[in-house]
Structure 1
Amino acid sequence: MNGKLRTLATAAALALAATGLLPATHAGAGPARCPTLKISDGWYGDNEARIEALLADHCGDRGGRKPVAVFDWDNTVVKNDVGDATFSWLLRHDRIRPPEDGDWSTTSRHLTPEAATALGEACPTGVRTLPTATDTRCADELLSVYANGATTAGETAFAGHDHRRTEPQYAWLAQLLHGWTTRQAASFAAAARAENLAAPQGATQRVGTAQVTGWVRYYDQQRDLIRALRDGGFDVWIVSASPEPVVDVWAQGAGVDPTHAIGIRNTTDHGRLTSHLKGCGTVRDGEDTMITYIDGKRCWINQEIFGVRGPAAERVQPADRRQVFAAGDSDTDVSLLRDATGLRLVLNRNKNELMCRAYENGDGRWLVNPMFIEPKKRKTAPYPCATTGYTASDGTAQPVRRPDGSIVPDQPDTVF
């Protein structure tokens, strides 16, 4: 909304408030009570206006629990991936410890024998930290397993997991922080953050023999939105599939306290991170089978934000125990977004299941927006919603279905 229209809207609100047709909190409270977005550039269609309407609807002290807003992090609040940035930094600075007994299968219960063998052959043993800054063979193998989910020879690196609850590649980064303290892991993330924010947009960096992305940027629009939500009385959280010490460091730059950032959580032993992970719902600590990923995000939100414990944390909660607003960019965020009762902001990265649900917009609460930096070009073919848009727990591709079981038809890409 431009300045003139916003002034007119404010005047109209004041007039309505004087007649008693509009609550005074909407008209007279000022920006601190009913905030608006300060950055209009980059918002598509009426997305800005609808977000401001949500802010107006919830502003002011209404008593009871604050409305909750939940954001994914990578490519939602920032451009590019802070987990990837941290992993690259670890390799370039010799900060990954080998497994104590040389058995790489101990770093992930989902690592295949082929991957464990490849890592054992590529990386040295008997060292405190792996010399990946100079040992390109070891660095290349680690990078391939993490980034591609396959060995450098093309063999599958991870298997045997529930594809709606965990992504072993993401979890492996947290597990490779074993042996360090949380504070040390955060210091690595801070160093990677400084490098990636200072690098020019489009920069790359060499890791092993590969050139990988070497820059990250906060989306100004998302920092502005988080500011407006907090000023409007929302309880704002970050829920990410990057390691929690990493997310904690980055979240502060968007105005979110680390106590409100949820990422992959390691168990600890004598103050040091282990290769095992905290559990949620029916998954116990050390079982390593559920992280903040698709349905795992629902569990962690229910458990950590709304205090729901045990099996119930894995289920959709009543509307008054769910987030009002959510934002995401990927299929990993589908459950986080679907559970939101007010608005669901989707940054279009051409992800099949997410865009199928967002474009169908069955209840009118989905907002689709191009990425704020380097938006994707239009996807020429429709999203394959009716055939292969959904990834089932066993990894098979299936149709995307509505809550009643009916199939979502293919959707064209219209916001880019």
Structure 2
Amino acid sequence: MHRRRAAPLALMAVTASGLLLAPPAQAGQAECPRVTIGAGWYGDNQARLQRLVDEYGRCGPHGAGGRTKPVAVFDWDNTVVKNDVGDATMFWLLRNGRLRQPAHGDWTTTSRFLTPAAAGALAGACGPLARPGTPLPTGTPGGAACADEINSVYGTAATRTGAAAFAGWDRRTTEPSYAWLAQLMRGWTAREIRGFAAAARTENLTAPVGAVQKVGSGTATGWVRYYDQQKDLVRGLRKAGFDVWISSASPQPVVEVWAEGAGIDADHVIGIRNTTGRDGKFTARLQGCGSVRDGADTMITYIDGKRCWINQEIFGVRGAAAEKVQPASRRQVFAAGDSDTDISFLRDATALRLVVNRNKNELMCRAYDNSDGRWIVNPMFIEPKKQKAAPYPCATAGYVDRDGTTGPALRDDRSVIPDQADSVF
């Protein structure tokens, strides 16, 4: 278990333009080498990130001096890389026939949230192709319909005929289609999954930007790229003495493989984690967090679940307390994300929050509202999205509750965030 304590929140002045101003360096720090953040950022984001490093790095007035380290946490997919490494791995598994027929041909054993309609569709498309526990030939012409059904359930949360594939989950702590990828890895060891992910990584980094690949009878995205600016930021933060982590809603061994390319070790990755049988192979059940027991499958690294896993794995908070916002001294100083799945751990960051704009409602409502002056927004570094024509519906539908109902996004003081125009693209 890794226990880290974030540096205390400093009182930082904010100019009219939103620039964070660090106090003068403390005496005796002149010999400390300054870490410089590289170029390629939007607006004054590079300057804001530089001041974060100057303020909280080992050379700054609130630097740890080697005794404790300020924590920085990054989401992975579409935050540090362009495209989704979970998707890349799923497509590789389907193309190479590495997913197994479930026990007794019963697809409900793969996810407690799978609907009868989805289980029936999967059994109809995949049932005749392989014995229980053996790999499905989804990379062959005869297995194309099975690959298509699996890919539809995974990618659209619906069957090929449009029936809902999942039901009954908490929208703030899990996403069953994300979890399903990890659950479909049952029967393989972590080492084997890392091998599959490494093969997918090589293919997707080698493929040209914009490439597609054949999956089943259709096509899917076939390329991934690291964002140079984010790799540089990770490198700079680590050099300045930050304790840098990844929190991702892709499977643990998959993110471990990709994070190595950004200089982050496996023990600083928090992904979706399977339970493991006595034979060392993954089961279809997932590890729990906070008050949620292993096998309940209801608390993955997703929205409030990311908060729980960060509190548990980085700061050593145990039990139900891990599900709650912690004191500032036990929270990350910096966080970066691109989606509503990241909103809770971004809000928990005490100094600066970097948002990569992918037009996600709740995230952009809070980032553009910027009620405490600690949010910065950057367009996607590769193929940035165009400006969203309509304002984000913050005041009416900026928040999705646990049961899937929508409502206004609220500030910490419970006031309603007004609709926000898209201004960074």
TM range (shorter): over 0.9
Q: Tell me how far apart the structure 2 counterparts of residues 209 and 172 of structure 1 sit (CA, whole Å).
A: 21
2:319 maps to which residue? Answer: 310
2:235 maps to which residue? Answer: 227
Q: Deviations over 1:321-349 (max 9, x none)?
A: 00000000000000010000010000000
1:55 to 53, 56, 74: 53
Q: CA deviation at 1:59?
A: 2.2
Q: CA deviation at 1:198?
A: 0.2
2:87 maps to which residue? Answer: 84
1:372 to 381, 386, 407: 381
2:308 to 274, 299, 302: 299
Asked whether 1:126 is paired with 2:126, we answer: no
1:171 maps to which residue? Answer: 179
TM-score computed with the length of structure 1 as normaliser:
0.93
One-letter code aligned to 1:130? L
Asked whether 1:162 is paired with 2:167, we answer: no
Q: CA deviation at 1:162?
A: 0.2
- RMSD of the TM alignment (CA)? 1.2
CA pair 44-163 structure 1, distance change in 2 beyond 3 A: same
- Report if the CA contact (8 A) 1:297-1:336 is conserved: yes
Q: CA deviation at 1:155?
A: 0.2
2:117 to 114, 117, 121: 114
- Secondary structure at the residue paired with 1:241? strand
1:191 maps to which residue? Answer: 199
CA pair 25-278 structure 1, distance change in 2 beyond 3 A: farther
CA pair 25-388 structure 1, distance change in 2 beyond 3 A: farther
Q: Tell me how far apart the structure 2 counterparts of residues 25 and 161 of structure 1 sit (CA, whole Å).
A: 55
- Report if the CA contact (8 A) 1:25-1:59 is conserved: no
1:143 maps to which residue? Answer: 151
One-letter code aligned to 2:182? A
Instruction: Give the number of equivalent residue pairs.
Output: 392
- Secondary structure at the residue paired with 2:76? coil
2:274 to 233, 245, 266: 266
Q: Tell me how far apart the structure 2 counterparts of residues 392 and 251 of structure 1 sit (CA, whole Å).
A: 31
One-letter code aligned to 2:347? R
- Report if the CA contact (8 A) 1:102-1:125 is conserved: no
User: Which residues of structure 1 form unaligned runs of 5+?
Assistant: 1-19
1:40 maps to which residue? Answer: 39
TM-score computed with the length of structure 2 as normaliser:
0.91
Percent identity between matched residues is: 67
Q: CA deviation at 1:293?
A: 0.1
Q: Deviations over 1:265-298 (max 9, x none)?
A: 0000020000000000111000001100000000
Q: Tell me how far apart the structure 2 counterparts of residues 35 and 378 of structure 1 sit (CA, whole Å).
A: 33
One-letter code aligned to 2:308? C
Asked whether 1:288 is paired with 2:294, we answer: no
- Report if the CA contact (8 A) 2:103-2:109 is conserved: no
One-letter code aligned to 2:291? T
Asked whether 1:358 is paired with 2:361, we answer: no
- Report if the CA contact (8 A) 2:66-2:241 is conserved: no
Q: CA deviation at 1:22?
A: 3.5
One-letter code aligned to 1:352? N
Q: Tell me how far apart the structure 2 counterparts of residues 311 and 22 of structure 1 sit (CA, whole Å).
A: 40
Q: CA deviation at 1:406?
A: 1.4
Q: Tell me how far apart the structure 2 counterparts of residues 332 and 22 of structure 1 sit (CA, whole Å).
A: 36
User: Which residues of structure 2 form unaligned runs of 5+?
Assistant: 1-22, 59-63
Q: CA deviation at 1:209?
A: 1.3
Q: Tell me how far apart the structure 2 counterparts of residues 406 and 220 of structure 1 sit (CA, whole Å).
A: 38
Q: CA deviation at 1:21?
A: 6.1
Q: Tell me how far apart the structure 1 counterparts of residues 57 and 175 of structure 2 sit (CA, whole Å).
A: 37
One-letter code aligned to 1:126? R
- Report if the CA contact (8 A) 1:72-1:240 is conserved: yes
Q: Tell me how far apart the structure 2 counterparts of residues 69 and 48 of structure 1 sit (CA, whole Å).
A: 16
CA pair 193-320 structure 1, distance change in 2 beyond 3 A: same
Q: Tell me how far apart the structure 2 counterparts of residues 217 and 24 of structure 1 sit (CA, whole Å).
A: 42
CA pair 56-369 structure 1, distance change in 2 beyond 3 A: same
- Secondary structure at the residue paired with 2:378? strand
One-letter code aligned to 2:70? P
Q: Tell me how far apart the structure 1 counterparts of residues 24 and 164 of structure 2 sit (CA, whole Å).
A: 63
- Report if the CA contact (8 A) 2:70-2:332 is conserved: yes
Q: CA deviation at 1:63?
A: 5.0
- Report if the CA contact (8 A) 2:70-2:241 is conserved: yes
- Secondary structure at the residue paired with 1:28? coil
1:201 maps to which residue? Answer: 209
Q: CA deviation at 1:398?
A: 1.0
Regions of 4+ moved over 6 Å: none
